[in-house]
Structure 1
Amino acid sequence: MELGLRHLQVVVAVAEAGSISRAAASLRIAQSGLTAQLGRIEREFGAPLFLRRPHGVEPTDLGTHVLHGARLVIGQFDDLIATARTRAQGGGAATIRLGGVDSPWISTVAAALRGLRPDHEQITYVEDDSGEVVDLVRTSRLDLAVITEHPDAPAPKPHGLIFRDLGVEPLLVGLHVDHPEAGRDRIRLAHLAEYDWIAPADKAGGLRQSLRTACERAGFVPRFRHFGADHGTAATIVGSGTTVGLFPMSSPPVPDVVLRPLAEEPLWCRTMLVWRPGSPLASVATDVVTMASDERFRTRKPFLVVEPDPADYRRAM
């Protein structure tokens, strides 16, 4: 059997479904047929891609490697189809490929690009890890990207790429307006030891690692109970109960949610724009930085009672 794109799509479908039976239902094929096909795919790769568990399947180390590459290949193929169709329909303008980790800055950068290149189609990719994003820029699969870094987790900076700061801002604790700690001007992490936390994305700039380290310094291990939520979903979860989470200072207001600065050593987020010197957007990238930074801090109003002291996060500068 010669491996092809459809086989990679099968592997991704099984991983995303979490079980062969659910994947078979989504692919509209018999479970026995999918099981046999997956077995042939695994033999071609030389080892199992998934561990079969009572509750479903989990990727092996090899499976994780294959999944990472498969998603890149499938994404490139989808990009090829989309851009080819655009050109076939007479749209000769180039396509801007913007990427990054989950961050409110992505929409701001996208708006700046639309202002500078209004005749260009724009495609945006959101990845899980700043390292993956940088690799996509380095290999010319992204023209421009937004990455982040946090305390104890510096962003990757391969030689040959250009990095420019968009801004450094404190990360604030988000609580329900009736939360017992919501009335304080500043929050001590130790006071949140008994509450459930929303876990930041596992790899997004090392934020989960930084939060866990800060909590351990405060004497406890954070009790993560919610995983995989983006900023908007996380805020909604916080607004519905006693769960707490971390949010950028410039986050837009959410009903029933208040943000409070930390009293101890602060957590912060540095956001950067990265591109290749030979990128199609290299000539306007500096303008994007200026426009995005100006717009971001002009229009985003933090919804907190006490402004954090800039000295709290000066070590990030």
Structure 2
Amino acid sequence: MRLEIRHLELVVEVAEAGSLRRAAARLHLSQPAVTTQLKRIEQFVGGALFIRSTDGVVPTHTGAELVRDARNLLRQFDALQRTARVNAASESGAPVKVGGIPAQQFSLLVNALTAMLPRREVTSRTIRETGTLTALLRSGELDVAVLREFSGFPVRRPEGVEHRLLLREPFFIGVSQRHPLAERGEIELADLAGEKWVMPDPDDSGMNEYFARVCASAGFEQRIAHLTTEAHVAFALTAENRGICLLYPIGTARDGLATLSLAGTPLSRDLVLAWRTGSRLAPLVDEVCAKIDQDYLALVEGSRFYRKWWHGGGSAFALP
């Protein structure tokens, strides 16, 4: 026998879990399998690595030193893998082609890829139509894209395209600062019965139908007075009290508007990263998603209203 990466991972997991049972659950192994493997490792090194008790396990002096060195080696191994994947993805001279809806995750994706692949050009285009995005992914015209998905309206993903949920993003409501609800902060969706809405033009994502269904389940019919895909038009109409509008948590200046959250977060969208299975970017997905998450959390902290919602329990709803 010789020590392998999987052995080091097992020893570190046992130390961090504090028990063989919890370590087995984290490693998706049976407890007897973990116990047997640990005994083999201890036989190889020539001494006990953990002291067993009814309360769990505690590293011996030898075990603590092995765990420390194993952590360092695993970090180096992870760095080696990341470097190899990035170098392999950078070898191709072709640009990385990014598509997606105009959400924060789209620009964060472009930024992440630009930083991770400094020797490759990154090109991008925003597209609202879900069908167009998936078709471009299938054809190879796009390497990676940010899609949106609404409950009850699943996106049909073509063969050869994988996906991962990035975030479940809430919708807030924008009202005029002169609106009677403006100072409430949080309201029930039913409080909006009878209001006129400013909504985007319907598209193939099912968003408008989704909004109508959720409003109906809250006991009222959504009354749409204005349709526009331009955020500044929607905000101007809302500021003049011509209607209420949906708000994404992070966005451009909203002069004259008050932001309201909805109790229970009944309105939301899933933001999904999709990529071609055979793309050179596929091995980098974990790192890309981690970078997007990190940068998005920085944006959350920079938004007073969203930060309050997020730390008030919203993060448990939003994070996959």
Per the TM superposition, whether the score is higher than 0.5 is: yes
* Equivalent residue number for residue 248 of structure 2: 248
Q: How does 1:68-107 map to 2 (within 5 A)?
A: 93-107=93-107
In structure 2, stretches of 5+ residues that fail to align are 1-91
CA distance in 2, matches of 1:298, 1:316: 14
Residues 152 and 124 of structure 1: is their aligned pair in 2 closer, same or farther, counting only changes over 3 Å?
Answer: same
Moved more, 269-278 or 246-255: 246-255
> Residue 177 of structure 1: CA displacement?
2.1
Q: TM-score scaled to structure 2, two decimals?
A: 0.62
CA distance in 2, matches of 1:263, 1:297: 22
Q: TM-score scaled to structure 1, two decimals?
A: 0.62
> Residue 310 of structure 1: CA displacement?
4.1
Which amino acid in structure 1 is aligned with residue 305 of structure 2? L
Residues 94 and 235 of structure 1: is their aligned pair in 2 closer, same or farther, counting only changes over 3 Å?
Answer: farther
SS in 1 for 2:175: strand
* Equivalent residue number for residue 46 of structure 1: none
The answer to whether the Cα contact below 8 Å between 1:259 and 1:303 also exists between their aligned partners in 2 is no
* Equivalent residue number for residue 309 of structure 2: 307
Q: How does 1:110-259 map to 2 (within 5 A)?
A: 110-203=110-203, 205-231=205-231, 233-251=233-251, 253-259=253-259
CA distance in 1, matches of 2:204, 2:96: 23
> Residue 228 of structure 1: CA displacement?
3.4
SS in 2 for 1:304: helix
SS in 1 for 2:305: coil
Moved more, 295-304 or 138-147: 295-304
The answer to whether the Cα contact below 8 Å between 1:267 and 1:313 also exists between their aligned partners in 2 is no
CA distance in 1, matches of 2:215, 2:319: 19
Superimposed CA distance per residue, residues 156-183 of structure 1 (whole angstroms, 9 cap, x where no aligned partner): 2334322122211221111222211112
The answer to whether the Cα contact below 8 Å between 1:95 and 1:122 also exists between their aligned partners in 2 is yes
The answer to whether the Cα contact below 8 Å between 2:168 and 2:318 also exists between their aligned partners in 1 is no
CA distance in 1, matches of 2:201, 2:100: 13
Superimposed CA distance per residue, residues 77-121 of structure 1 (whole angstroms, 9 cap, x where no aligned partner): xxxxxxxxxxxxxxx942221111232321121111221223433
Residues 264 and 285 of structure 1: is their aligned pair in 2 closer, same or farther, counting only changes over 3 Å?
Answer: closer
Residues 143 and 236 of structure 1: is their aligned pair in 2 closer, same or farther, counting only changes over 3 Å?
Answer: farther
CA distance in 1, matches of 2:112, 2:250: 18
Residues 312 and 286 of structure 1: is their aligned pair in 2 closer, same or farther, counting only changes over 3 Å?
Answer: closer
CA distance in 2, matches of 1:180, 1:204: 34
Residues 237 and 120 of structure 1: is their aligned pair in 2 closer, same or farther, counting only changes over 3 Å?
Answer: farther
The answer to whether the Cα contact below 8 Å between 1:237 and 1:243 also exists between their aligned partners in 2 is yes
The answer to whether the Cα contact below 8 Å between 1:179 and 1:242 also exists between their aligned partners in 2 is no
Alignment root-mean-square deviation, CA: 2.9
- Give the number of the structure whose residues are more often helix, by fraction: 2
CA distance in 1, matches of 2:153, 2:178: 33
Q: How does 1:278-297 map to 2 (within 5 A)?
A: 278-297=278-297
Which amino acid in structure 1 is aligned with residue 309 of structure 2? E
In structure 1, stretches of 5+ residues that fail to align are 1-91
> Residue 243 of structure 1: CA displacement?
2.1
CA distance in 2, matches of 1:315, 1:293: 11
Which amino acid in structure 2 is aligned with residue 259 of structure 1? T
> Residue 210 of structure 1: CA displacement?
1.3
